[in-house]
A and B are shown apart, each in its own frame.
Chain A
């Protein structure tokens, strides 16, 4: 066990850059991303498909193929894990850091009982437990994720479970060894809305009862609003805005954040059309030098297309935008872009 740093953040990522090989040569898919999470905290990582949110989490877990270049610093509990050995990563994975995938339908081994799969996870990180102890711990995990009738469920196969129940099993497997950090990669995308609420309820219990820090990757701002302490908004591989949840929602400083919020349909204002953001995110191949959002931005200046905006602090948020102040005043006036 590495020395526990008492005060530092649980996970501290600085300058994370991921270069992926494409047919037309290497391209930067994640550029200079910073984020950190404290013990027991919940942060949201928000962005649309291809913004690099899953890629950066896979980089943290050390899951990317060898031909992906990962640079920057990833400190877990003060220990640098970027580029550390496969053996060390295996001990961390499933032990101190766990991950929940998007699609619970396929995240379980179809030919093993769920009991066997939970027991396997416990056993991997705690050698020498008796069969009875393993079973007891597995059953208590199933209870922790609110699966009714755990004794019967223990001996069943994944196909006998509904989508929501499978996601609970996946979560039970993830928390089998009381991890410090749980990375949830769009954990409710494949589920319907009532089940989503139940799963989010389980997450918030894990946090309050077990003190597990959670990184919630999602494109659903509503989920983040209900749970996270802080939010990081990713666009085209960069963190464009980050800060406490209230300030992001009340006073977005980045035009992208503002348009994301405006795009959420509201039942208070009945409007005929959904407010989509015009244009599409830049593909990996043509990421230019300036701000990635400039071509779609209503507030863009000529400067935005050429100079990448530096990250500066506005109130409680960190924003990478040349026009952050203007956007903020627009937001204060309640006018979405």
Chain B
């Protein structure tokens, strides 16, 4: 017997109140948004953790709390590291280093890139050539290599890592903004504004730039994961945070020297993985939301 409606759903008893609420929520917005919601919840949770962790963490992240190299247990969920510090607490504290770095790097890169790109695209000619050649030179190096070189020459430290990443990252946004400004500049309403007697500065700020933001936002969201990875990479090779700072890349580097005690690297590794993945999910969702044509889902 073939039925058009699947009868099974009515027969299955609800497992619990919560699961009914969640599945009703997703039935309304569509199950394809599951990764987006997951990512958003995770990112918000990480931000909350970063802000509040000192108030409820059971241990001090740099204090020796027990025997060294303990396997995960109820007392130490992710075990202890080579010095006997709690890996779980250190991982949670890691959000206080990684998240601000990402925020600072992306904010600065976007601000510098947008400014340079907008000026270059709007003025054109010599200014455009000069600014874009600087950007090209920066982009000509492999980003990780350049960041390493800059971080190494500035000296190790979190602030210097951030500076190195900003130097590596701004040209991407400059190019993006330049292309946007140049294409918006060709639109009729810009000509109409010129015909109305609008000054160049106002033209750029009021009539061109407000139409340029969406690819910048999408790209910035996608880049969150990238920045975290490169920042962790720099501290893994010892160019960023120094021990005993509980920074993720730095912790993985410690875990690598105690390779058979897997839990030491597992906490920070998982954290990096989840943040990068969530950032990419959010970026995808944002891109689909802003430009429905580029996505696969209708």
Contact = CB atoms under 8 A, between A and B. Distances in A.
A and B part of one assembly: yes
A322 to B, nearest CB: 39
A124 interface: yes
Interface in B170-224: 187-189, 191-199, 206-207, 210-211
B196 A94 contact: yes
Contacts of B199: 90
Contacts of B207: 109
B192 A173 contact: yes
A93 B194 contact: yes
A107 B196 contact: no
Interface string A90-131: 111111001101010011111110000000110011000000
A111 B197 contact: no
A124 B187 contact: no
A173 B188 contact: no
B198 A124 contact: yes
A331 B247 CA distance: 91
A121 B196 contact: yes
Interface residues of B, number: 16
Contacts of A91: 197
B195 A109 contact: no
A100 to B, nearest CB: 9
B260 to A, nearest CB: 58
Contact of B196 (A93, A103, A110, A111): A93
Contact of B194 (A63, A95, A109, A170): A63
Contacts, number: 61
Contact of B195 (A63, A103, A120): A63
A99 B194 CA distance: 10
Contact of A106 (B189, B197, B206): B189
29 contacts: A61-B195, A63-B191, A63-B195, A90-B197, A90-B199, A91-B197, A92-B197, A94-B195, A94-B196, A94-B197, A95-B197, A98-B196, A101-B192, A101-B195, A106-B188, A107-B189, A108-B189, A108-B192, A109-B193, A109-B207, A109-B210, A111-B210, A112-B206, A120-B196, A120-B198, A124-B196, A124-B198, A125-B197, A176-B196
Contacts of B211: 110-111
B190 to A, nearest CB: 8
Interface of A: 61, 63, 90-95, 98-99, 101, 103, 106-112, 120-121, 124-125, 170, 173-174, 176
A111 to B, nearest CB: 5
B186 to A, nearest CB: 10
B196 to A, nearest CB: 4
A93 B189 contact: no
A336 B179 CA distance: 52
Contacts of A63: 191, 194-195
A103 B194 contact: no
Contacts of B195: 61, 63, 93-94, 98-99, 101
A109 B191 contact: no
Nearest to A99: B195
A63 B198 CA distance: 13
B188 A107 contact: yes
B98 to A, nearest CB: 35
Nearest to B193: A109
Contacts of B188: 101, 103, 106-107
A110 B187 CA distance: 11
**Closest CB pairs A-B (n = 6):** A94-B197, A94-B196, A106-B188, A93-B197, A99-B195, A111-B210
A115 to B, nearest CB: 14
Contacts of B191: 63, 101, 107
A239 B199 CA distance: 34
